[in-house]
Chain A
Amino acid sequence: GQSLEQPSEVTAVEGAIVQINCTYQTSGFYGLSWYQQHDGGAPTFLSYNALDGLEETGRFSSFLSRSDSYGYLLLQELQMKDSASYFCAVRAKHDYKLSFGAGTTVTVRA
């Protein structure tokens, strides 16, 4: 099976930078994804890494090191609207199933 670990909570002020780490254990690996979910809402896709390195999409970046079974999501120039839960998810097989981490609640304060 798959297991993922990420911090449960992070608090930061507006304009700050937050890094959410995710370590995983999986029998196979096809990629690591990140999703954002606001309270009561649906998860929305943020990024995907299949190869080592950094992927940048606006204020959000995601990094992957397959040798370390580790990735992170970097949130820059934090805004109040970034307050949400962030989930890492691993795709372990050739099918399309995702296994999600427990989620990190990010709270942005003024």
Chain B
Amino acid sequence: GAVVSQHPSWVICKSGTSVKIECRSLDFQATTMFWYRQFPKQSLMLMATSNEGSKATYEQGVEKDKFLINHASLTLSTLTVTSAHPEDSSFYICSATSGSSSYNEQFFGPGTRLTVL
């Protein structure tokens, strides 16, 4: 149980275009979903936290108008990278928690590798 999927697994786009990444919890309802960005050989950096039906909370330094997050249901959150530029190329990972375990374990998706040309 506790499977999180992401789509697409990789995407290549031209500079200036927008890219949407989906994150789905397949077998549980996710009260909270998180979006991370990871550059090669670096740690996971939290970008934002989203709760179903409410606006996402962005970490300091993350542009909310550039990284649009929608958490429309308890099983789906989307991250849209608007007007992507080469410096946005990274590994984007989502995670979800159901809030049902004693320690609210985060279950991670397989990640989406974005390359902006």
Contacts and interface: CB of A to CB of B under 8 A. Distances in A.
Q: Can you list the 9 inter-chain pairs with the closest CB atoms, starting with the nearest?
A: A42-B108, A96-B104, A100-B43, A42-B110, A100-B44, A48-B103, A102-B43, A43-B108, A96-B97
B34 interface: yes
A44 B105 CA distance: 10
A43 B44 contact: yes
Interface string B89-117: 00001010101000111111111010000
A50 to B, nearest CB: 6
The range of chain A's interface size is: 20 to 34
B49 A95 contact: yes
Given A95-B49, A102-B42, A103-B43, A41 B111 contact: yes
A45 B104 contact: no
B4 to A, nearest CB: 8
Counting chain B residues whose Cβ lies within 8 A of the other chain, the interface size class is 20 to 34
Interface of B: 32, 34, 42-46, 49, 93, 95, 97, 99, 103-111, 113
A31 B109 contact: no
17 contacts: A33-B105, A41-B110, A42-B109, A43-B93, A43-B108, A44-B108, A45-B105, A45-B107, A95-B49, A96-B97, A96-B106, A97-B46, A98-B46, A98-B106, A100-B44, A100-B45, A103-B43
A97 B43 contact: no
Given A41-B111, A43-B95, 13 more contacts: A33-B105, A40-B111, A42-B108, A42-B111, A43-B108, A45-B105, A91-B103, A96-B32, A96-B34, A96-B104, A97-B46, A100-B43, A102-B43
Interface string A26-58: 000011010100001111110010100000000
A71 interface: no
